[in-house]
Amino acid sequence: MSIALLATVGGLTTVGLYLITARSLSRIILGFALLGHAAVIALLAAGGPPGAPPIAGNSDEAIANPLPQALALTAIVISFGLTLFLLALAGRQHQLTGDDLVEDDLEDQRIARTSSTESSNES
Amino acid sequence: MSALIAATLIAPLLGAAAGLIAPTTRLRDGATIAGIGTAAAAAVALLIRVANDGTHVVRVGGWDPELGIVLVADLFAVLVLPVALVIIFVVEIFAIGQRRTAWGANPELAGPLLGVLTTGVSLAILTGDLFTLFVAFELILVSSYVLLTHQGTRGQIRSGMTYVVMNLLSSTLFLFGVAFVYAATGTVNIALLAERIPELSDGVRLGIGAWFFIVFGTKAAIFPLFSWLPDSYPTAPTTITAVFAGLLTKIGIYAMIRFHTLTGMDELGSTMLIIAGATMIIGALGALAQSDVKRILSFHIISQIGYMLMGLGLFSAAGTTGAILFLIHHMPVKTVLFLVGGLIENDQGTSNLDRSGGLASRRPLLAAFFAIPALSLAGLPPFSGFVAKFSVIAAGIDASATPIVVVALAAGALTLLSMTKIWIGVFWGTPPDDKATRSEAPGNRTTMLAATGLAVTGTLAISLFAGTLFDLSQRAADDLRSAAYVTAVAP
């Protein structure tokens, strides 16, 4: 059980990390969705062995640890909202430029082009 | 005292909610100001109470610390909290003055969002467990994402993407970190972690320490994880940048001081010192290369983070004291500088050094408002930066960490150099020809100047009461390094 969970976490993390290295924001969003799932599964795996539903007086078996489940639910809600925000950002970028690429820092590029003699003349 | 703690969390959120549904501008401003103001007043009262009576712990819902959320008002928290909340309060006043200008934030959203941000900041400072810290970070970040990009201009969207992606990555790593910590110790409560993490094997313990160093380090913009900061901050409206510059990276370093000191990650100290040195120098050199006021100031944030990290990395009582004092000094000073940057932009239509000049003769008050925090940031006496920098560097000398002390002093000189660059570019020389017409920018200058003046007075007050603050920081550092925090939360 635990090995399967860990393998899932590993697989999701690998694909997620690969996707967020892309230039296109839509791929990055997919990457973050997968990474979020991986983190949530890791949280669940951290909760220990599986058991009966954690409702008091429901069964005599050992119950599952409810705390990581509560944490996971909170994390899912947060990542859901953030995915929507990223989609809105990608939509706006598409509106403005026709693509959804993450661009470089313009000022950095300008300064990198400035040779040392030019900058000393300026100041 | 529990009511005061609750007020810092709930009042700004209520103000934000009321601000969103308020029908008129005046009511909306009133609601957000009242919310943030109540929280700031409660935070100041909390500082007085905790300094006299000691740490106060609230168990939300009466749950045991192992299971439930605890809010801990220890001395470290209540020293940082009032400074942070008063800053947001001052910036909100500035924002009300600036809103009708081209550089002001959209008032429909900015006020309420600042309220949400305030709640996030209070929660991040007061929380006693890692997962609530994660939620607080998300609360801060979500409102900051919207504040940064809400005008939807091309530059904001471009740099906003970098900002969101970097911070989202660090949040995801944070969540993984929480899972690791829970798997290793069976709790996310920081006080219980302070007991259980030192008992773990060295590999697991230092792995957790390094993992959270990266997580908090990304938020704090340490070398080499800072690239998102100088790109995104200057594109936002000035008021927004002022809050971000004063608070966001500092919350990261606050979490780092709390977590790494309480769990005793002393072995990471040398790594932290190396990174602190690199952060200082790269930030200061980066500032020298820029030709825009806001970008220069953004690089200074990075450089200054290095000093706080140095204080933490020394892992001595004096070092932690220095880091706490530096944190308290840095937040208002940085905010004032960005507010002045906003006033400069308002006056001459640009914050670019090449296209400005002669402001000292036209706006002498503005020049004074810039000079005081600028000299303070560079660490010259008698301003607050001197006390803070002195205590960090003295701690470095005590620990005979000579290389980092030399680097810190060199970075201070470089900071002064880039401040001089702003001074020469903006305040000296002759104003460019066509600027006379543009100086009649809309916006309520009196409100903006009053807010900036209030903040300048605040930084001067910090240098006046430096002795008291130093003693309090020392007590806060002792509490963190001894078992005082643990016994208060989980007796």
* DSSP string across B348-384: HS--BGGG---HHHH-HHHHHHHHHHHHHHHT-TTSH
B356-363: average pLDDT? 79
Q: Which residues of B, range 44-73, sit inside 8 Å of A by Cβ?
A: 67
Highest mean pLDDT pick, A64-68, A117-121, B121-125: B121-125
Name the pLDDT band for B71 (thresholds 50, 70, 90).
very high
More confident residue, B210 or B158: B210
**Residue A1's pLDDT is what?**
54
Q: Please report where in the chains the tokens 């005008």 appear, as a residue.
A: B151
Q: What is the ipTM of this complex?
A: 0.88
CB contact under 8 A, B175 and A39: yes
Query: Which residues on B lie below 8 Å from A96 (Cβ)?
Result: 154, 157
pLDDT mean over B297-307 = 91
Establish whether the linkage from the previous residue to B224 is cis, with ω within 30° of 0: yes
What is the mean pLDDT of the segment spanning B110-114?
87
Task: Determine, for residues A40 and B175 on separate chains, whether the beta-carbon distance falls below 8 Å.
Answer: yes
Mind telling me how many Å the CA of A6 is from chain B's nearest CA? 12
Determine whether the interchain pair A28/B354 forms a contact, defined as Cβ–Cβ distance below 8 Å. no
pLDDT at A16: 95
The Cα angle at residue B250 between residues B85 and B43, in degrees rounded to 5: 25
From residue A85, alpha-carbon distances to A81, A91, B17, B160, B170 in Å are 6, 10, 20, 11, 17
Alpha carbons B374 and B361: distance in angstroms, whole number: 18
Distance of alpha carbon B184 from the chain centroid: 31
Distance CA B235, CA B218 (A): 20
Spatial separation of the C-alpha atoms in residues B142 and B124, rounded to whole Å = 14
Assess whether pLDDT exceeds 80 at residue B187. Answer: yes
**What distance in Å separates the CA atoms of residue B355 and residue B374, rounded to the nearest whole number?**
21
Give CA–CA dist B98/B238, Å, rounded.
9
For residues B280, B243, B45, B261, the Cα torsion angle rounded to the nearest 10 degrees is: -30
Confidence band for B101, pLDDT divided at 50, 70 and 90: low
- The whole-number average pLDDT for the span A82-107 is 83
Examine the pLDDT at B434 and tell me if it is beyond 60: no
pLDDT of B436-469, one tens digit each? 445 455 567 788 888 889 889 888 888 888 889 9
pLDDT averaged over chain B? 88
Q: Give pLDDT tens digits for A13-49.
A: 999 999 999 888 889 999 999 999 999 999 988 888 8
Bridge-based pairing state of the strands B56-59 and B70-73 = antiparallel
Contact (Cβ atoms closer than 8 angstroms) between residue B121 and residue B140: yes
Q: Do B164 and A86 touch (CB under 8 A)?
A: yes
Sorted by sequence, the CB contacts under 8 Å of residue B395 that are 6+ apart come out as: B311, B314, B316, B318, B319, B321, B322
Q: What is the mean pLDDT of residues B23-40?
A: 89
Q: Which of the given ranges, A80-94, B34-48, B334-348, B422-436, has the highest pLDDT on average?
A: B34-48
Q: Which of A20, A42, A74 is facing B176, going by the closest CB pair?
A: A42
Amino acid at A50: P
In angstroms, what CA-CA distances link B379 with A76, B304, B376, B472? Answer: 45, 11, 5, 21
Average pLDDT for residues B198-225, to the nearest whole number?
Answer: 92
Q: Is the per-residue pLDDT at B211 higher than 80?
A: yes
Quick check: B349 pLDDT over 90? no
**Has residue B76 got a pLDDT over 50?**
yes
Would you give the DSSP letter of residue A64?
P
CB contact under 8 A, A71 and B178: yes
pLDDT digits (tens, 9 = 90+) for B235-279: 888 888 888 888 999 999 999 999 999 998 889 999 999 999 999
Query: What is the phi/psi pair of residue B380, to 5°?
Result: -90, 140
What pLDDT is attached to residue B443? 64
- Assign B158 a pLDDT band (cuts: 50, 70, 90): confident
Instruction: Give tens-digit pLDDT for B394-415.
Output: 999 999 889 999 999 999 899 9
DSSP B424: I
Res B37 pLDDT > 80:
yes
